[in-house]
Structure 1
Amino acid sequence: MTNHNNEASPLYYSRVAGLGLLLMAILAMFSNFSVFNGLIISDDAATTANNIISNEILFRCGFISFVIVLILDVLLAWALYVLLKPVNKNLAILAAWFRLVYTAIFGIALHNFLNVLQLLSGTEYLTVFTTDQLQAQVMLLIDAFNNGWIIGLVFFGFHLFVVGYLIIKSGGYIPRMIGFFLVIASAGYLIDSFAHFLLPNYTDYKTIFLLVVAVPGVIGELSLAFWLLIKGVKVQQRR
């Protein structure tokens, strides 16, 4: 009975990781594209504040979706560690820590959105700030969130690199092509993050950097998710 459970456990972890990746993708897309990108206008503080006030429930739903993503990040770090430790335990731990550090930084950055809601829903702030000042404070908080997320994505990029490397070295029980895509995606995240820090005119090239991140990232992470859900039994066979 014990042997049967031991054999089944890698399959269980592969399902957890695959399902976690898919749920994260769905929730992150909802928060990013349906909520925040639709409500936040980077160069228009007044419109942004009015959008959030008019769509407060939607904004709160986007925030909650990001919180769920944080929880899934922790579960995914754990599941990937279990799956990849037979390849190299030390590197699997390193990959997990990179993701956990990213999650912690992202969580700290996310609290800025709570402050945005507090500012816009608290009438007491109207006695302290003018409308323009209040709107400027909101944009500062949103920028603080974005800057924190960018710093976190540096650690996420290194996480993807280590995971991709371990998959490449896994002997084929997870397809090496997925590992190559993850390594390329890691380079995209790192290039984009450092470009934010180094290029004063980053916005002029924003679309290009978005493609550099999105294309290999979507292919690599979704390929891994579907493979773990559909073909994860191969991990079981290797074990």
Structure 2
Amino acid sequence: MTITTDTTRRSAARIAGTGYLALFVLAIFANFVVKQGLIDTTSAAATVEAIRAQESLFRVGLAAFVIIFLIDIAVAWALYVLFAPAGRARSLLVAWFRVVYTVFLGVGAVFMFLGLQIATGTSSLGPEAALLMFEAFDFAWFVGLIAFGGHLVLLGVLIIRSGLAPRLIGGILIVAGGAYAIDTLAHVLVADYAAIAGVMLACVAIPSIVAELAFTIWLLLAGRRSSAVTREDVRVLAPQ
């Protein structure tokens, strides 16, 4: 039997909200500035040349992915604590899906480090092997994103059923989670994904940005209010 106080839930909301803000900044930098800015999926030689020319930037981007890995663990815990009053077992399932995604991101970071080692000449393998490592990062991340999509869908369902956060946010989270899952499967199933990449990016980016930004704002506000949720100030949670 666990007792979760209102203070604990407010702290969890602040941790989750602050974590989401940090994830936005770090993810934009690591993925769009560093990864997509330096890695050319059509040319192994160009990729290696770019990384060697800006090795420090690449290492900072890799460090950002590692920090994202750590922050996501804290966010998973915070969301579990915050939504435990809606059902400890259901909240734990939501957290586990996020942790699984986080583990795959960590595995991807290992591939990215190996690609860096090859690209900077600390191994006898050639540029093609370095690019293969970066592609392995992408695939590990894609597999993780299926779990992340599941996390968003389950979180959205939990919010709608419990009313512990605005139900509209829950609905948008479900749409965003479904978009992540569909996009990831499209990477695997569609031979010429590049032909639909622009459409899929819009389908994923729009609902995910709206949903997670709205959720972040709610978390930060919930962390400052006298009650992080509108239910009991102290609730005894029995296994559900």
Counterparts of 2:198 and 2:89, CA distance in 1: 37
Unaligned stretches of 5+ residues in structure 2: 233-240
What does the per-residue CA deviation read over 1:152-202, in whole Å, with 9 as the maximum and x for residues that have no partner? 10111101111111111122x311111111000001001101111111011
Counterparts of 1:123 and 1:110, CA distance in 2: 18
What does the per-residue CA deviation read over 1:14-67, in whole Å, with 9 as the maximum and x for residues that have no partner? 000000011011100000111111111111111111111101010000000111
Equivalenced residues, count = 228
Partner of 1:227: 218
> Are residues 124 and 185 of structure 1, via their aligned partners in 2, closer, same or farther at CA, if it must alter by over 3 Å?
closer
Partner of 1:196: 187
Q: TM-score, normalized by length of structure 2?
A: 0.91
Counterparts of 1:182 and 1:170, CA distance in 2: 15
Partner of 2:138: 146
Counterparts of 1:230 and 1:34, CA distance in 2: 30
**SS of aligned partner of 1:99:** helix
Partner of 1:45: 44
Contact 1:81–1:96 (CA under 8 A) maintained in structure 2: yes
Amino acid at match of 1:238: R
Amino acid at match of 1:223: A
Q: TM-score, normalized by length of structure 1?
A: 0.91
> Alignment identity in percent?
39
**SS of aligned partner of 2:86:** coil
Contact 2:48–2:120 (CA under 8 A) maintained in structure 1: no
**SS of aligned partner of 1:174:** coil
Partner of 1:217: 208
Amino acid at match of 2:206: V
Matches within 5 A, 1:67-216: 67-122=66-121, 125=124, 129=125, 134-171=126-163, 173-216=164-207
| Offset at residue 236 of structure 1 (A) | 4.5
| Offset at residue 238 of structure 1 (A) | 2.4
Structure 1 outlier segments of 4+, above 6 Å:
none
**SS of aligned partner of 1:238:** coil
**SS of aligned partner of 1:235:** coil
> Are residues 6 and 165 of structure 1, via their aligned partners in 2, closer, same or farther at CA, if it must alter by over 3 Å?
same
Aligned Cα root-mean-square deviation (Å): 1.6
Amino acid at match of 2:212: E
Q: Which of the pair is proportionally richer in helix?
A: 1
Partner of 1:238: 231
Amino acid at match of 1:165: V
**SS of aligned partner of 1:102:** helix
Unaligned stretches of 5+ residues in structure 1: none
